[in-house]
Structure 1
């Protein structure tokens, strides 16, 4: 029996429905709309993500300011841009999309964005609070995955979870969220020996490797729940890190596109509302 598709749109709509009244109240109290600054590199995947963010946030009345990062930008110029945004009252949150231009270290946004404007939970303050199990702004992509599981009634506590990918914005924070939900977690990465042997142990399999079709059906435990974070541009199509044929083995699978993406954007909007409340208090 083919896997149940874990569509992200109804989950996102539930989150956004709860946010609309909160947004109206914030704007009424402050007479100022929320705004997010998106630092956008010249990468096809990042630009696709930016379009999706605009599609979600603009109807909520959130102002989106896009700052293009060309390949010639250096670290000093990047710091100047972020410092200016940190100081602007009409910028509620700042989001730096990856991959950054090759001149910039991946960690740079985490050390330059002010914690009070960290809409995607990447600064050391938010990362540390998340790892300690304290209230924090969570990275929107792994937090969105947890919302998907909640919405579809998929239990996490006591189950064996395998996370493929250890990036600071998906894999690592997802481990913290899963541990907080009492899962038993294994992390895989490019140095993992016999990846398939490990992934076949997963009751809950999360894939965020940035490698199209990395996980095939032979690598999945029958009946597993598979969450695919992959956003890979192949030709003119968006494809995931999981081969669609996995649907013949798994009990549930997120589609690409239309799975984790819409929920990620909704959680991003929720994070922005949280930042606005913190800034106004």
Structure 2
């Protein structure tokens, strides 16, 4: 009986952090501490939890975490003013605007206010364009995490048919571009896609990024496919029916402890890289 490979995100994240530790020490010898500024607007419990997790991860690795918690009544212009202040702060190397923001704010305008050299979460249109051309310094963290997992476990992408379910600008779209740049043949599916189950059945690699619990069924999965679940829904449930897909897949990410820990690790990696690039500019 075949044994499905469980893609352990915690293990991958630890590997990334171990490699970063030496680089952080090297920066420290030159008087630099990488700094990530995290902006949280409002009091959404899930967002507060994510920001706290990112802050704790920074501190454990020796990265300075600057948390900016703003009242939900703030205007878009006021938010952009704060982002611009961080853009001009030489002590800040990365800026993360926790999303989603309250509905009255123009989230895209706020994202676009982030300087490209500090866009460590890959949310700007310029960052997206760079990712499309395979030139992204800081690609979106969750798709980057999936690539990191595939590379860690030496799972091939070249020549494989990848089906990405979801087309959000910070997950589905950049994931499809990253896979395309790794020479996969990519099909992007979304809420208007017809015969979704039949399309997924053709996939060697399935990326679930739809935001619906247990949406992807085991019967959709081709025998031996690799399943990457980027979903995280209430109750620690992913976007795939894990137990059912486990029986068909050759490799699968669990939820939790799959893509999530590596996403945070990639954010830390991008912050360190931003600090290194800043140091090179001022030398």
TM-score normalised by structure 2 residue count: 0.93
SS in 1 for 2:236: strand
Q: Residue in 2 aligned with 1:101?
A: 102
The change in CA–CA distance for 1:69 and 1:162 in structure 2 (over 3 A counts) is farther
Q: Residue in 2 aligned with 1:252?
A: 251
Whether contact under 8 Å (1:73, 1:101) holds in the other structure is no
Whether contact under 8 Å (2:138, 2:270) holds in the other structure is yes
- The superposition leaves residues 105-162 of structure 1 with CA deviations (integer Å, 9 ceiling, x where unpaired) of 3322331101111111222332212211225211111111011011112110000000
The change in CA–CA distance for 1:71 and 1:193 in structure 2 (over 3 A counts) is farther
Q: Residue in 2 aligned with 1:7?
A: 8
Q: Residue in 2 aligned with 1:202?
A: 203
Listed as ranges, the gaps of 5+ residues in structure 1 are none
Q: CA shift at 1:46, angstroms?
A: 2.6
Q: Residue in 1 aligned with 2:213?
A: 212
Matches of 1:47 and 1:192, distance apart in 2: 34
RMSD (CA atoms): 1.6
Q: CA shift at 1:2, angstroms?
A: 5.5
Matches of 1:217 and 1:32, distance apart in 2: 49
Select between 168-177 and 132-141 the one with higher mean Cα deviation.
Answer: 132-141
SS in 2 for 1:136: coil
The change in CA–CA distance for 1:200 and 1:45 in structure 2 (over 3 A counts) is farther
Matches of 1:262 and 1:38, distance apart in 2: 17
Q: Which runs of 4+ in 1 moved over 4 A?
A: none
Q: Residue in 2 aligned with 1:263?
A: 262
Q: Residue in 2 aligned with 1:227?
A: 228
How many residue pairs end up in the alignment?
277
Q: Residue in 1 aligned with 2:275?
A: 276
Q: Residue in 1 aligned with 2:63?
A: 62
Whether contact under 8 Å (1:229, 1:241) holds in the other structure is yes
Q: Residue in 2 aligned with 1:238?
A: 236
Q: Residue in 1 aligned with 2:40?
A: 40
- The superposition leaves residues 68-88 of structure 1 with CA deviations (integer Å, 9 ceiling, x where unpaired) of 344322211211111111111
Whether contact under 8 Å (1:40, 1:46) holds in the other structure is yes
In the alignment, structure 1 residue 163 sits paired with structure 2 residue 164? yes
Whether contact under 8 Å (1:6, 1:253) holds in the other structure is yes
- The superposition leaves residues 150-202 of structure 1 with CA deviations (integer Å, 9 ceiling, x where unpaired) of 11121100000000111111111111111111000000111111221211111
Whether contact under 8 Å (2:224, 2:249) holds in the other structure is yes
